[in-house]
Amino acid sequence: MMPMRRRLAIALGAALPALSALATPAMAFPERALTLVVPFAAGGPTDKLARELAASIGRALGGTVVVENVGGAGGTLGVARVARARPDGHTLLLYHIGMATSPSLYPKLPYDTLADFAYLGMVNEVPMVLVGRRTLPATDFTALARWLRDRKRRAVLADAGPGAASQLCGLLLQQSLGLRLTTVSYKGTAPAMADLLAGHVDILCDQTTNTAEPIAAGTVRAFGVTTPQPLSAPALAGLPTLHAQGLTGFDVSIWHGLYAPRGTPPEVVRALNAALRSALRDPAFVDRMQALGAVVVDDDRLDPEGHRRFVAAEIERWGRALRAAAR
């Protein structure tokens, strides 16, 4: 059955009583295609998630959602693009833990993370895997750690820039090993993974949604998952944790959330939140996430104010961790 197009009544306000008596005070939402900004390169984990969500959200709203990739500066360029967009619900942002880490990493962010956005709800949680090029001499984490200690600055860690999940994970890895490696930053982990597959860089810490398939295909070497517990998705089951291999307490799992610019009308926020809820309850979406090692959030994490409070707490938590890592 075709979904009902949501029509939102917009009051014209007390200043226009005569006009409101004559006109039909209703505006369609959506009025045109929505743009979902992905602040990383196409083909990477955020982009893959966005394309699945865009189709489902579009179906729920009875409209079209187009993905726009605005990569660079760890995702913050794309975030800034949405902060400046017209607050009418037609420009949305899908971003991850970088929403909480970038305030500590960029002294002059061109937006206020908590004040400049309408929070629409959380999406999922995604563990990460430390992977390496297939031609590395090390086949397990102990041998890799030894190799990295020998190579030091000659070993190359790929990431997606300050604020990216891969950078956060790579930073904590270097801190845990007591090492500084050479890092090469890309506009997303899709190009970073392409260079890893080509053997141009040595290691990458990336979300399971981007690593499960190359691990299953045997085109990268997997050295350990970043959560304290092993993962159950078939492509990832059996991989040891970094925690169990000597990096005691290593625990990085990232999350994604959906945002619109500050000032988006409450009716539109409600419509978008309802569309997100419906997208996340689509069994095909839930199955696909599970197969890639990700977990779709429960209903209680879809409350917009709860989402904002969670991000505020994450800004504090990661601020402390990043300050400690920089010491």
Q: Which chain residues interact with ligand MLT by CB under 6 A?
A: 40-41, 44-47, 96, 160, 164-166, 188-190
DSSP labels for 148-168?
HHHHGGGSEEEE--TTSHHHH
Distances from the Cα of 248 to the Cα of 94, 134, 135, 138, 244, angstroms: 32, 26, 27, 21, 7
Please work out, in degrees rounded to the nearest 5, the angle formed at the alpha carbon of residue 220 by the alpha carbons of 175 and 232: 80
HSE-up of 246 (CA within 13 Å, CB side)?
A: 12
CB of 256 to ligand MLT, least distance (A): 9
User: Of 162, 171, 70, which is closest to residue 128 (Cα–Cα)?
Assistant: 171
Residue 9 zone, left/alpha/beta (φ > 0; ψ -120 to 50; rest): beta
Nearer to ligand MLT, 46 or 273 (CB): 46
CB of 45 to ligand MLT, least distance (A): 4
Q: Are 156 and 202 in contact (CB under 8 A)?
A: yes
CB of 54 to ligand MLT, least distance (A): 14
Pairing of strands 182-185, 156-159: parallel
Nearer to ligand MLT, 164 or 315 (CB): 164
Distance CA 322, CA 162 (A): 11
CB of 67 to ligand MLT, least distance (A): 12
CB of 207 to ligand MLT, least distance (A): 6
Nearer to ligand MLT, 166 or 208 (CB): 166
Nearer to ligand MLT, 47 or 125 (CB): 47
Distance CA 145, CA 130 (A): 12
Nearer to ligand MLT, 105 or 269 (CB): 105
Nearer to ligand MLT, 29 or 250 (CB): 250
Distance CA 198, CA 196 (A): 5
CB of 185 to ligand MLT, least distance (A): 10
The number of angstroms, rounded, from the C-alpha of 29 to the middle of its chain's C-alpha atoms is: 26
Nearer to ligand MLT, 190 or 222 (CB): 190
CB of 73 to ligand MLT, least distance (A): 12
Nearer to ligand MLT, 47 or 88 (CB): 47
Nearer to ligand MLT, 47 or 202 (CB): 47
Q: How many CB atoms sit inside 10 A of residue 317's CB? A: 12
Distances from the Cα of 246 to the Cα of 18, 129, 222, 241, angstroms: 73, 15, 16, 9
CB of 16 to ligand MLT, least distance (A): 45
Residues 6+ apart with CB under 8 A from 264: 87, 88, 89, 118, 272
CB of 98 to ligand MLT, least distance (A): 6
For helices 165-177 and 141-151, what crossing angle results, to 10°?
Answer: 80
